[in-house]
C-alpha cells in the first residue's frame, strides 16, 4: 500500500527521532542494563511524558492530545530504533486504549489524566503459560474478587495499574491492592517483567467482555509491530553502513554479490513490513472492520522481518557482532522477546488464515 504521514504525524515522528537520538540513544539503554535496573528508567519516562507522548491517544477532555494511532505508532517506531526502555507501549498504547474503549466514566476520569501526565504505568496481563494463548484462562472472579495467575507480564514489575485479561473479559486491578503479589523477572532483553498472582484481589470489570480483550490485544500487537519495525530498520541501516566500509580481500565487503543479495532481501522485507504496520495503524484510526486481520498480518510480518534482520546484523558484522561491546547483541535479544510477545509469527499466520476463512 501507499501510505503518507500527514504534516502533524510527520512532525511528531521527526521530533521523536531527534529526542531518541539525543536523549535515549542505545548507550543509555546499555548503561541501564549494566547498572542492572531491569528496565527501570523513570527519568526517561518523565521526559517522554513531558514531550506529550503518554497522552497521544488520550482525548483532550482528559488531558491528552487525541492524535490517533498512526501518530503513536510513528513514535513507537523511533523508540524501537534506539531500544529505549519505557512503558510507552504498555501504558500509552495498551492502557489508554483499554480505558478508552472499555472503561466507565469514573474509570476514565480516574486513570486517563494520570496516564496522559505520565503519572501512572499500566501493564497488560494475558498469558498463564509458556506460550501465548489468550483464550486459555483459569482466572476466577467471585464477588468482585479475582484469583489466578498470569505469567510474563511486560512492565508488570513497575506497573501501578494492571489490565487483567480473562476468558470472559478484562478487569482493572491496582498493582498495590491486597491479594496481588508479583515476582520480578530478569529478562534477556533487560526490559524486565513479572509473574503475577491474584488471591481474592479486588477487581473492577471493563465493559465489552471478550470482544474488548481481543481489541486490546490487537492494539498491543500493532503497537509492538511498530516498535519492531523501527528496531529492524535501525539494524539494517547500521549493517548497510558496515558493508560500505569494511574491507576484505582488498575491497569493501558490500561489493560481494552474495552479501548484496542478502541486503536486498532485508530491504524488501522491511518495505513490506512497513506497509503492513502502517496499514494496521490506519485501520485503528479509521475504525475498520478488519482490524484483527491487520493486527495479525502486521505482527507476523514484523516478527519474521526482525528475526531475519537481527540475525544478519550479527552475522554480517562477523566476529565483532558476537561481542557484548557491539550493539548487535542488544538488538538480537530484544528481537527474540518481541517476536514471542502477544503471539509469534506462527500464531498470527494461523490466526490470519482462520480470520480469512481458511
In a domain, 321, yes or no: yes
Residue 332 reports pLDDT greater than 70: yes
Residues 241 and 324 in one domain: yes
Residue among 190, 144, 140 at smallest CA distance from 166:
140
* Grid cell for residue 212: 474488548
Residues 100 and 55 in one domain: yes
Give the pLDDT band of residue 131 (cuts 50, 70, 90). Answer: very high
In a domain, 2, yes or no: no
Give the pLDDT confidence score for residue 248 in this predicted structure. Answer: 85
In a domain, 1, yes or no: no
Residues 194 and 288 in one domain: no
Residues 146 and 199 in one domain: yes
Residues 229 and 191 in one domain: no
Residues 96 and 171 in one domain: no
Pick the last residue of a domain from 116, 148, 182: 116
- Antiparallel, parallel or unpaired: β 161-165 and 122-125: parallel
Helices marked H in 82-175 — which ranges? 96-102, 105-116
Its sign, for the CA torsion 343, 281, 46, 234, is positive
Domain region containing 44: 7-116
* Grid cell for residue 85: 526502555
Residues 71 and 141 in one domain: no
> What SS3 state is found at 122?
strand
Residues 243 and 261 in one domain: yes
Residues 140 and 260 in one domain: no
Residue 188 reports pLDDT greater than 70: yes
Give the DSSP H or E segment for 202.
strand 193-202
The alpha carbons of the chain give a radius of gyration, in whole angstroms, of 20
Residues 227 and 182 in one domain: no
Instruction: List, for residues 236-269, the tens digit of each pLDDT value.
Output: 999 999 999 998 888 998 889 999 999 999 999 9
* Grid cell for residue 229: 519495525
For the residues 285-296, what does the mean pLDDT come to? 97
Residue 141 reports pLDDT greater than 60: yes
In a domain, 307, yes or no: yes
The total of structural domains in the chain comes to 3
Pick the last residue of a domain from 72, 91, 116: 116
Residue-averaged pLDDT of the chain = 96
For the residues 328-349, what does the mean pLDDT come to? 98
For the residues 69-98, what does the mean pLDDT come to? 98
Pick the last residue of a domain from 207, 235, 250: 207
For the residues 130-136, what does the mean pLDDT come to? 92
Give the pLDDT band of residue 167 (cuts 50, 70, 90). Answer: confident
CATH, residue 42: 1.10.540.10
Amino acid at each position: 500500500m501507499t501510505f503518507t504521514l500527514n504534516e502533524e504525524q510527520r512532525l511528531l515522528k521527526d521530533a521523536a527521532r531527534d529526542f531518541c537520538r539525543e536523549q535515549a540513544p542505545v548507550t543509555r539503554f546499555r548503561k541501564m542494563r549494566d547498572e542492572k535496573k531491569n528496565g527501570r528508567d523513570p527519568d526517561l519516562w518523565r521526559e517522554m511524558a513531558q514531550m506529550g507522548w503518554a497522552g497521544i491517544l488520550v482525548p483532550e477532555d482528559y488531558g491528552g492530545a487525541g492524535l490517533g494511532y498512526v501518530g503513536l505508532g510513528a513514535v513507537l517506531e523511533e523508540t524501537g530504533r534506539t531500544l529505549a526502555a519505557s512503558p510507552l507501549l504498555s501504558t500509552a498504547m495498551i492502557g489508554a486504549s483499554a480505558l478508552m474503549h472499555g472503561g466507565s466514566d469514573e474509570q476514565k476520569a480516574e486513570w486517563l489524566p494520570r496516564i496522559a501526565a505520565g503519572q501512572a504505568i499500566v501493564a497488560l496481563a494475558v498469558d498463564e503459560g509458556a506460550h501465548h494463548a489468550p483464550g486459555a484462562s483459569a482466572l476466577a472472579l467471585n464477588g468482585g474478587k479475582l484469583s489466578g495467575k498470569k505469567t510474563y507480564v511486560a512492565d508488570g514489575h513497575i506497573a501501578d495499574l494492571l489490565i487483567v485479561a480473562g476468558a470472559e473479559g478484562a478487569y482493572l486491578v491496582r498493582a498495590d491492592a491486597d491479594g496481588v503479589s508479583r515476582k520480578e523477572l530478569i529478562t534477556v532483553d533487560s526490559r524486565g517483567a513479572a509473574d503475577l498472582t491474584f488471591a481474592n484481589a479486588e477487581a473492577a470489570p471493563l465493559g465489552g467482555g471478550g470482544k474488548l480483550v481481543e481489541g486490546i490485544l490487537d492494539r498491543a500487537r500493532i503497537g509492538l509491530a511498530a516498535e519492531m519495525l523501527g528496531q529492524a530498520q535501525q539494524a539494517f541501516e547500521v549493517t548497510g553502513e558496515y558493508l560500505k566500509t569494511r574491507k576484505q580481500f582488498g575491497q569493501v565487503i558490500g561489493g560481494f554479490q552474495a552479501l548484496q543479495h542478502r541486503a536486498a532481501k532485508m530491504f524488501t522485507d522491511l518495505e513490506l513490513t512497513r506497509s503492513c504496520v502502517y496499514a494496521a495503524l490506519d485501520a485503528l484510526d479509521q475504525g475498520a472492520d478488519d482490524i484483527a486481520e491487520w493486527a495479525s498480518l502486521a505482527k507476523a510480518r514484523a516478527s519474521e522481518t526482525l528475526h531475519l534482520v537481527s540475525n544478519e546484523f550479527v552475522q554480517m558484522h562477523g566476529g565483532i557482532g558476537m561481542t557484548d561491546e557491539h550493539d548487535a547483541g542488544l538488538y538480537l535479544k530484544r528481537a527474540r522477546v518481541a517476536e514471542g510477545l502477544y503471539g509469534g509469527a506462527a500464531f498470527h499466520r494461523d490466526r490470519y488464515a482462520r480470520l480469512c476463512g481458511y
